[in-house]
Every structure is written in structure tokens, then in C-alpha cells.
């Protein structure tokens, strides 16, 4: 079985899509990691009996640190880590511990519209203001700089009929919900 851990901070629609659309003969969502105790993604994980870990820069009795998480992931035999709306920087040591085994989905066509501050609606507002005809989603390896890692897959969508950032967001999210499970299924079959 290919064990996947998903990092989240928000509503969890990408987590739900991974859960629903990855091949359960090959892929197991073995853990969810969140920096927020109360978010839709954590609710979904709890409703589906997926173990949840809370991560913080300053750990306390309910939040763990990355060194502890690394050992837990070794114990769980995690094969791939997926950032799905996770809004904090992954530390360098953790990246080194899971070299080329951490991927992220970004709601734009990198390398444009990426970097610090570029998350959620901030991305779609920047795309809307650019008056570009296309946006899309990108899955890339996570490295030590935000949104800088090697691109794995990218899908474009025509946004010329979108009249607001919110309309762009809806179109891009639909792309994300197809792209991410497809990439994870391919990883589970060692196609990368």
C-alpha cells in the first residue's frame, strides 16, 4: 500500500478529492497534518477516521514539532507527503528528511503568481488583476523556497469569461480536484 500524508490548513476540498479519487487498491490516506485545530479538513479527517496530527513552530501539549512528526511518519511508513492548502513554510530539515517526497498543489500556473503571500484568494486576485486569459493549477515538488520546486504537472483553464477572482477560484479548484488525485495515483504506480 502507498501511504500518503496530507498537510492542510483550510476547508479540505482537495483532501476530500484525494480521498474520493485515489485508487484505494494502491493508495491509503494514512495521516492528516494541520496547523489549525478547527478547519473543514480536520473535520473531514475525523469523520473518515484518518489520524490527525497538529503541527506548530512552538509545540505544546496538543501540537507536535517537526522532529516528532518525522519519527511518526517513519513509523507509519509514509511514502508521499501532499500539501493541500497548507499555509506554513515547511522547514528545511523536514524537506531533507523526505527528499523528493513532498509535493504541493498551487492554484496558478507557476512560476507566475507564486511565492510568499501567494495563497488562496490572494493568488486569484493577482491573476484577475493581470487580465490574463488563462489560469490553472500546478503540482510541484516542495523545496526550501515557496513555490520554487520542480514542476510535476500543470493544467491550464480559460478564464476569459471570468468577471471576478471568485469565478477564477471556482474554475481553478475544479482543475485541482482532478489534477492532484491523478498525480498521486501516478506516484503510487511509480510513474515519476
Ligand X SMILES: NCC(=O)N[C@@H]1O[C@H](COP(=O)([O-])[O-])[C@@H](O)[C@H]1O
Ligand Y SMILES: Nc1nc2c(c(=O)[nH]1)N[C@@H](CN(C=O)c1ccc(C(=O)N[C@@H](CCC(=O)O)C(=O)O)cc1)CN2
| 112 interacts with ligand X by CB under 6 A | no
Q: Confirm whether 106 is a catalytic residue.
A: yes
Helices and strands of the chain, counted as H and E runs: 6, 7
Find the binder of ligand Y among 53, 66, 86, 128 (CB under 6 A): 86
Residue 187: CB minimum distance to ligand Y, A: 17
| 33 interacts with ligand X by CB under 6 A | no
- Using CA atoms, how far apart are residues 76 and 60, in angstroms rounded to an integer? 22
**CB-wise, 21 or 59, nearer to ligand X?**
21
| Residue 11 neighbours by CB under 8 Å, 6+ apart | 39, 40, 41, 85
**Which one of ligand Y, ligand X, none is in contact with 89 (Cβ closer than 5 to 8 A by kind)?**
ligand Y
Query: How many angstroms from the chain centroid is the CA of residue 159?
Result: 23
Q: Is 12 annotated as a binding residue?
A: yes
Find the binder of ligand X among 85, 149, 165, 181 (CB under 6 A): 85
Stretch that binds ligand Y, among 42-50, 63-71, 145-153, 165-173 (CB under 6 A): 145-153
Tell me the β-bridge partners of 136. Answer: 156
Helix, strand or coil for residue 180? helix
**Which one of ligand Y, ligand X, none is in contact with 41 (Cβ closer than 5 to 8 A by kind)?**
ligand X
Stretch that binds ligand Y, among 20-28, 53-61, 85-93, 166-174 (CB under 6 A): 85-93
Quickly list DSSP for 37-94.
Answer: SSSHHHHHHHHTT--EEEB-SS--SS-B-HHHHHHHHHHHT--EEEESS--SPPPHHH
**CB-wise, 69 or 105, nearer to ligand X?**
105
Residue 141: CB minimum distance to ligand X, A: 15
User: What is the side-by-side order of every strand in the sheet holding 2-8?
Assistant: 52-54, 27-34, 2-8, 80-83, 102-106, 134-141, 151-158
Q: Are 51 and 26 in contact (CB under 8 A)?
A: no
Task: Give me the residues that bind ligand Y (CB under 6 A), please.
Answer: 83, 86-90, 104, 106, 116-119, 142, 144, 146-147, 149
Task: Give me the residues that bind ligand X (CB under 6 A), please.
Answer: 8, 10-14, 41, 84-85, 105-107, 118-120, 123, 173, 176
Q: Could you give the residue numbers annotated as active site? A: 106
Amino acid at each position: 500500500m502507498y501511504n500518503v500524508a496530507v498537510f492542510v490548513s483550510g476547508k479540505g476540498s482537495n483532501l476530500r478529492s484525494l480521498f474520493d479519487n485515489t485508487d484505494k487498491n494502491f493508495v491509503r490516506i494514512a495521516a492528516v497534518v494541520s496547523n489549525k485545530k478547527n478547519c473543514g479538513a480536520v473535520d473531514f479527517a475525523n469523520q473518515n477516521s484518518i489520524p490527525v496530527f497538529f503541527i506548530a513552530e512552538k509545540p505544546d501539549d496538543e501540537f507536535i514539532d517537526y522532529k516528532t512528526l518525522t519519527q511518526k511518519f517513519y513509523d507509519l511508513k509514509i511514502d508521499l507527503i501532499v500539501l493541500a492548502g497548507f499555509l506554513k513554510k515547511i522547514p528545511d530539515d523536514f524537506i531533507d528528511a523526505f527528499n523528493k517526497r513532498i509535493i504541493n498543489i498551487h492554484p496558478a500556473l507557476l512560476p507566475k503568481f507564486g511565492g510568499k503571500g501567494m495563497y488562496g484568494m490572494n493568488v486569484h486576485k493577482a491573476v484577475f488583476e493581470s487580465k490574463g486569459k488563462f489560469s490553472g493549477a500546478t503540482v510541484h515538488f516542495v523545496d526550501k523556497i515557496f513555490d520554487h520546486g520542480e514542476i510535476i504537472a500543470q493544467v491550464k483553464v480559460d478564464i476569459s469569461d471570468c468577471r471576478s477572482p471568485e469565478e477564477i477560484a471556482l474554475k481553478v479548484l475544479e482543475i485541482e480536484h482532478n489534477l492532484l488525485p491523478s498525480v498521486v495515483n501516478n506516484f503510487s504506480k511509480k510513474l515519476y
